[in-house]
Amino acid sequence: MYIVQIASECAPVIKAGGLGDVVYGLSRELETREHCVEIILPKYDCMRYDHIWGLHDAYMNLWVPWYGAAIHCSVYCGWVHGRVCFFIEPHSQDNFFNRGCYYGCDDDNMRFAFFSKAALEFLLRSNKRPDVIHCHDWQTGLIPPLLFEIYKYHGMEYQRVCYTIHNFKHQGIAGADALRATGLNQEAYYFQYDKLRDNFNPFALNLMKGGIVYANAITTVSPNHAWEARSTDVGCGLGHTLHLHQDRFSGVLNGIDYDFWNPEIDRYIPCKYTKETFEDKAKNKKALRERLLLRDVDKPIVAYIGRLDNQKGVHLVHHAIYYALDRGAQFVLLGSATEPGINAHFQHEKRFLNDNPDVHLELGFNEELSHLIYAGADMIVVPSNYEPCGLTQMIGLKYGTVPIVRGVGGLVNTVFDRDYDENVPQEKRNGYVFYDTDYLAIESAMDRAIGLWHYYPDEFQKLAIQGMEYDYSWKNPGEEYVKIYDWIRHHW
């Protein structure tokens, strides 16, 4: 199959979050299955050019229709760790992608509406006719409407689209400008409820809704999140739209890259280990303590790694620190906060706990340290308010670090409670799950985990090894996406 991914990120060259990892990881998996994959991205000024090999001209004279005129673009091609990527560079006064950032501009809607239009125009003009176009998140939500309302009539009638939503919180709320600029026009038509009209604001367009309404298949990043998005407020107003299109909507769990996250080969950890040599994990624990100046005592280390924001349940992260200390455990936190209030709060906590030899708060982003924490900690807490998929629990499992998670989103699909999950046999259970957002809920789960570590160490080790046996690589998600691609190719 010939698949083109169109996205605003692809790790490691353009990465703001999990979207970049998925675009790269899925593309690589598809290629190992002998499908042909190309990736179309904006050419941002601030992307990591050092991760692109052999950047060269691919299509220098692309004219993209825009507001009845056209913007001249150049398209470059290069390899990002083996993946073929095309980068679109518009030459206009708008400077769409020369802003020193990926997102966060006032005209983000128009920047990515332009990108969507340009990507399709590039496919059309360069005679690329993929079997499947796979686009991602609100930034490319206009691709399905543009394909089926315009490009289909210009020689792209056989292309099919899979649209993946990574985060329902950002939907791309735009005005009628987006229609006029991209040539969709016909305001009265697109401002209907069953087309692109926002479900909350009748005077606005919702680009993500456009993707849902027009795509041949819609996915989100875990089966449980697919259910939540359709049936609860997690869909941020799109629940009814998803419900109407549920026959085309499903959840496919993300994978993680085991070439990078794997204690057997991890170059960032001092002592590599497998489930057969699990006792070597203790050497990493020792190294972690030395690095963070924690005292070497007979206590478990509980960790938190992740953004510090409301999505991640920061009030419970804060509580977990003190509860772990109270219950005879040590705590390590690695996190960064963009919101000033949350940042100030954790800076204060860091100062307050500075002299405590059982806790370390590292505020900032540190990839290398994160590997040592995954390898050295005994447990990892993930108390998210919502979590479309979640990677830290899956990485924790691979490193034999027992996850303690809130039962939401993808956490439900990946972590199975040692004591209570009756749907999973005892020998397949791999962590602890709590559901409520109050302190008692997380306390009870932490209590069970820390208690097992202290009083039944063999049982705790067995649980950690059971976690290591799970395969959360891209293998299964790759297979599921191929099935979806096959389905849309043959049913539409």
Distance in Å, CB of 264 to ligand ADP, minimum:
18
From 139, 164, 392, 413, residue interacting with ligand ADP (rule: CB under 6 A)? 392
From 370, 401, 413, 466, residue interacting with ligand ADP (rule: CB under 6 A)? 370
Distance in Å, CB of 434 to ligand ADP, minimum:
18
List the beta bridge partners of residue 57.
76
Residue whose CB is less far from ligand ADP, 18 or 263: 18
Distance in Å, CB of 89 to ligand ADP, minimum:
27
Q: By CB under 6 A, is residue 12 in contact with ligand ADP? A: no
CA distance 436 to 438: 6
Residue whose CB is less far from ligand ADP, 313 or 390: 390
Residue pointed to by tokens 């203790």 = 282
Residue whose CB is less far from ligand ADP, 95 or 310: 310
Of the candidates 333, 365, 358, the one whose C-alpha atom is nearest the C-alpha of residue 346 is 333
Distance in Å, CB of 410 to ligand ADP, minimum:
8
From 242, 305, 316, 317, residue interacting with ligand ADP (rule: CB under 6 A)? 305
Largest interatomic CA distance in the chain: 73
List the beta bridge partners of residue 87.
41, 76
Distance in Å, CB of 360 to ligand ADP, minimum:
13
Q: By CB under 6 A, is residue 158 in contact with ligand ADP? A: no
Residue whose CB is less far from ligand ADP, 141 or 313: 313
**Interacting residues with ligand ADP between 307 and 336 (CB under 6 A):** 307, 334-336
Q: By CB under 6 A, is residue 26 in contact with ligand ADP? A: no
Q: By CB under 6 A, is residue 18 in contact with ligand ADP? A: yes
Name the residue whose CB lies closest to ligand ADP: 18
Here the tokens at position 34 are 């002998």
Task: Mark the segment that binds ligand ADP (CB under 6 A) among 189-197, 243-251, 320-328, 362-370.
Answer: 362-370
Task: Mark the segment that binds ligand ADP (CB under 6 A) among 125-133, 231-239, 361-369, 472-480.
Answer: 361-369
Q: By CB under 6 A, is residue 365 in contact with ligand ADP? A: yes
Distance in Å, CB of 338 to ligand ADP, minimum:
11
Number of residues that bind ligand ADP (CB under 6 A): 16
Of the candidates 55, 54, 25, the one whose C-alpha atom is nearest the C-alpha of residue 43 is 55
Q: By CB under 6 A, is residue 385 in contact with ligand ADP? A: no
Q: By CB under 6 A, is residue 338 in contact with ligand ADP? A: no
Residue whose CB is less far from ligand ADP, 77 or 363: 363
From 279, 367, 422, 458, residue interacting with ligand ADP (rule: CB under 6 A)? 367
From 73, 391, 405, 484, residue interacting with ligand ADP (rule: CB under 6 A)? 391
Residue whose CB is less far from ligand ADP, 335 or 478: 335
Q: Is the dihedral of CA 90, 92, 98, 99 positive or negative?
A: negative
Distance in Å, CB of 492 to ligand ADP, minimum:
31
Task: Mark the segment that binds ligand ADP (CB under 6 A) among 120-128, 198-206, 389-397, 435-443.
Answer: 389-397
- Cβ atoms of residues 10 and 20 within 8 Å: yes
Task: Mark the segment that binds ligand ADP (CB under 6 A) among 66-74, 83-91, 209-217, 385-393.
Answer: 385-393
From 25, 145, 172, 306, residue interacting with ligand ADP (rule: CB under 6 A)? 306
Residue whose CB is less far from ligand ADP, 259 or 486: 259
Residue whose CB is less far from ligand ADP, 292 or 452: 292
Question: Which 3-state string (H, E, C) describes the chain?
Answer: CEEEEECCCECCCECCCHHHHHHHHHHHHHHHCCCEEEEEEECCCCCCHHHEEEEEEEEEEEEEEECCEEEEEEEEEEEECCEEEEEEEEECCCCCCCCCCCCCCCCHHHHHHHHHHHHHHHHHHCCCCCCEEEEECHHHCCHHHHHHHCHHHHCCCCCEEEEEECCCCCCCEECCHHHHHHCCCCHHHHCCCCCCECCCCCCCEEHHHHHHHHCCEEEECCHHHHHHHHHCHHHCCCHHHHHHCHHHEEECCCCCCCCCCCCCCCCCCCCCCCCCCHHHHHHHHHHHHHHHCCCCCCCCEEEEEEECCHHHCHHHHHHHHHHHHHCCCEEEEEEECCCHHHHHHHHHHHHHCCCCCCEEEEECCCHHHHHHHHHHCCEEEECCCCCCCCCHHHHHHHCCCEEEEECCHHHHHHCCECCCCCCCCHHHCCEEEECCCCHHHHHHHHHHHHHHHHHCHHHHHHHHHHHHCCCCCCHHHHHHHHHHHHHHHHHC
Q: By CB under 6 A, is residue 343 in contact with ligand ADP? A: no
Here the tokens at position 336 are 């960064």
Residue whose CB is less far from ligand ADP, 179 or 208: 208
Distance in Å, CB of 222 to ligand ADP, minimum:
10
Residues that bind ligand ADP (CB under 6 A): 17-18, 305-307, 334-336, 365-367, 370, 389-392
